[in-house]
Amino acid sequence: MLESSPVAIELYVLLSAVLFVMGTLGVLLRRNAILIFMSIELMLNSANLALVAFARQWNTIDGHLMVFFVITVAAAEVAVGLALIVAIYRTKKSISIDDLHKFEG
C-alpha cells in the first residue's frame, strides 16, 4: 500500500492546468505552424501530468497506461503533422497558419 503523496495532488493538477492554458495560448496566438504543434505537445503533456497525478492518488496503474498511449498517439501525430507541414511548405513556401485558409495548391 502506497503512502499518500507528500505533495498534495491538487498542486500537480493545478500545475497541469497552468501548463495546459499556456499551451492553449500558444496554439491561439502563434502563427508558425511548427510552434503551434509544439504548443499542442505541451497541452498533451499537461494532460499527461494530470493523469499521472490522479493515478498516484488512486493507486491504480491504469492512468500510467493512458499516458503511455497518449505519448504514442502524440508520436504518431507529430510524425504525420510534421510531414504535412513539410508538404505544405513545399507547395506554399510558407508555414504560417494564416496563409492556409484555403484548400488550394
* Binding residues among 5-34 for other proteins as defined by CB under 8 A: 5-15, 17-34
96: helix, coil or strand? strand
Q: What whole-number distance in Å separates Cα of residue 35 and Cα of residue 32?
A: 5
**With binding defined as CB under 8 A, does residue 65 bind other proteins?**
yes
Q: How far is the CB of 100 from other proteins (least distance, A)?
A: 7
Q: How far is the CB of 76 from other proteins (least distance, A)?
A: 4
Q: What whole-number distance in Å separates Cα of residue 38 and Cα of residue 84?
A: 15
- The total number of residues shown for the chain amounts to 105
**With binding defined as CB under 8 A, does residue 45 bind other proteins?**
yes
